[in-house]
Amino acid sequence: MEGSLLAKLEKISGVVPAEGEVPVFDEGDMVVIATRSPIGHYRMPTYLRGKIGKVEAIMPQMAMDNEEEGYGRNAGSKGHYYRVAIPMTEIWSDYIGSANDGLRIEIFENWLEKPSDV
Protein backbone atom coordinates (compact mmCIF):
# COMPACT_ATOMS: atom_id res chain seq x y z
CA MET A 1 0.00 0.00 0.00
CA GLU A 2 2.87 2.37 0.76
CA GLY A 3 4.82 1.21 -2.26
CA SER A 4 2.29 3.37 -4.06
CA LEU A 5 3.68 6.47 -2.32
CA LEU A 6 7.06 5.74 -3.82
CA ALA A 7 5.47 5.28 -7.22
CA LYS A 8 3.49 8.49 -6.81
CA LEU A 9 6.55 10.52 -5.88
CA GLU A 10 8.36 9.24 -8.94
CA LYS A 11 5.43 9.87 -11.24
CA ILE A 12 4.91 13.57 -10.64
CA SER A 13 7.80 15.43 -12.18
CA GLY A 14 8.99 18.68 -10.71
CA VAL A 15 7.92 17.82 -7.16
CA VAL A 16 10.89 17.81 -4.82
CA PRO A 17 10.29 15.55 -1.84
CA ALA A 18 11.48 16.69 1.58
CA GLU A 19 14.44 15.06 3.23
CA GLY A 20 13.52 11.55 4.35
CA GLU A 21 10.17 11.64 2.57
CA VAL A 22 11.08 8.98 0.04
CA PRO A 23 11.52 5.66 1.84
CA VAL A 24 15.04 4.26 1.55
CA PHE A 25 13.76 0.68 1.50
CA ASP A 26 10.96 -0.88 -0.47
CA GLU A 27 8.69 -3.81 0.24
CA GLY A 28 10.58 -7.04 -0.31
CA ASP A 29 14.02 -5.53 0.34
CA MET A 30 16.40 -7.48 2.54
CA VAL A 31 17.74 -5.42 5.44
CA VAL A 32 20.31 -5.84 8.19
CA ILE A 33 19.51 -4.41 11.61
CA ALA A 34 22.37 -2.27 12.87
CA THR A 35 24.52 -3.63 15.68
CA ARG A 36 25.38 -0.35 17.39
CA SER A 37 24.92 -0.18 21.15
CA PRO A 38 24.35 3.41 22.22
CA ILE A 39 24.07 4.02 25.95
CA GLY A 40 20.56 4.84 27.09
CA HIS A 41 17.04 3.72 26.30
CA TYR A 42 16.66 2.73 22.66
CA ARG A 43 13.59 1.14 21.12
CA MET A 44 15.52 -1.37 19.02
CA PRO A 45 15.53 -4.61 21.04
CA THR A 46 19.05 -5.99 21.55
CA TYR A 47 18.10 -9.55 20.58
CA LEU A 48 17.45 -8.41 17.01
CA ARG A 49 20.52 -6.27 16.41
CA GLY A 50 22.67 -7.71 13.60
CA LYS A 51 19.84 -9.92 12.30
CA ILE A 52 18.71 -10.05 8.68
CA GLY A 53 15.08 -9.54 7.75
CA LYS A 54 12.82 -8.59 4.89
CA VAL A 55 10.75 -5.41 4.59
CA GLU A 56 7.11 -6.50 4.62
CA ALA A 57 5.53 -3.05 4.57
CA ILE A 58 6.39 0.62 4.85
CA MET A 59 4.38 2.22 7.63
CA PRO A 60 2.12 4.88 6.12
CA GLN A 61 2.65 7.40 8.92
CA MET A 62 6.07 9.00 9.03
CA ALA A 63 7.34 9.60 12.55
CA MET A 64 10.05 11.51 14.29
CA ASP A 65 13.20 9.82 15.53
CA ASN A 66 11.95 9.59 19.07
CA GLU A 67 15.27 8.26 20.31
CA GLU A 68 16.87 11.59 19.49
CA GLU A 69 13.86 13.60 20.57
CA GLY A 70 13.66 11.57 23.78
CA TYR A 71 17.06 12.90 24.79
CA GLY A 72 16.00 16.48 24.12
CA ARG A 73 17.89 16.72 20.84
CA ASN A 74 16.16 18.01 17.73
CA ALA A 75 15.29 14.90 15.74
CA GLY A 76 14.96 16.87 12.50
CA SER A 77 12.75 15.57 9.70
CA LYS A 78 10.39 12.68 10.19
CA GLY A 79 11.36 9.27 8.85
CA HIS A 80 9.81 5.94 8.02
CA TYR A 81 9.13 2.89 10.09
CA TYR A 82 9.28 -0.44 8.29
CA ARG A 83 7.50 -3.61 9.26
CA VAL A 84 10.29 -6.17 9.04
CA ALA A 85 9.84 -9.95 8.90
CA ILE A 86 12.59 -12.04 10.49
CA PRO A 87 12.53 -15.87 10.58
CA MET A 88 12.74 -17.28 14.12
CA THR A 89 15.56 -19.55 12.95
CA GLU A 90 17.53 -16.42 11.96
CA ILE A 91 17.16 -15.05 15.49
CA TRP A 92 17.67 -18.24 17.49
CA SER A 93 19.96 -21.00 16.19
CA ASP A 94 18.29 -23.45 18.61
CA TYR A 95 14.71 -22.42 17.82
CA ILE A 96 12.15 -25.14 18.45
CA GLY A 97 9.20 -24.95 16.09
CA SER A 98 8.41 -24.67 12.43
CA ALA A 99 10.96 -23.15 10.06
CA ASN A 100 8.11 -20.91 8.88
CA ASP A 101 7.68 -19.30 12.31
CA GLY A 102 8.68 -15.67 12.30
CA LEU A 103 8.85 -12.37 14.07
CA ARG A 104 7.47 -9.02 12.95
CA ILE A 105 8.59 -5.65 14.23
CA GLU A 106 8.49 -2.03 13.13
CA ILE A 107 11.98 -0.55 12.86
CA PHE A 108 12.92 3.06 12.31
CA GLU A 109 14.89 3.76 9.14
CA ASN A 110 18.14 4.71 10.85
CA TRP A 111 18.49 1.23 12.36
CA LEU A 112 18.38 -0.50 8.97
CA GLU A 113 21.20 -1.12 6.52
CA LYS A 114 21.40 -2.76 3.12
CA PRO A 115 22.98 -6.20 3.34
CA SER A 116 25.76 -5.15 0.93
CA ASP A 117 26.83 -2.48 3.45
CA VAL A 118 27.92 -5.19 5.84
Residues near another protein (CB under 8 A) are: 1, 43-45, 47-48, 59-61, 63, 66, 81, 83, 88, 91-92, 95-98, 100-108
* C-beta of residue 46 within 8 angstroms of C-beta of residue 54: no
* 9 vs 105, beta carbon nearer another protein: 105
Alpha helices in 38-108 (DSSP H): 66-70, 88-91
* 70 vs 113, beta carbon nearer another protein: 70
The distance of closest approach from Cβ of residue 114 to another protein in the complex, given in angstroms and rounded to an integer, is: 21
* 60 vs 115, beta carbon nearer another protein: 60
The distance of closest approach from Cβ of residue 105 to another protein in the complex, given in angstroms and rounded to an integer, is: 4
The distance of closest approach from Cβ of residue 88 to another protein in the complex, given in angstroms and rounded to an integer, is: 8
Alpha helices in 29-105 (DSSP H): 66-70, 88-91
Identify the helix (H) or strand (E) that includes residue 9.
helix 3-11
The C-alpha atoms of residue 118 and residue 34 are separated, in whole angstroms, by 9
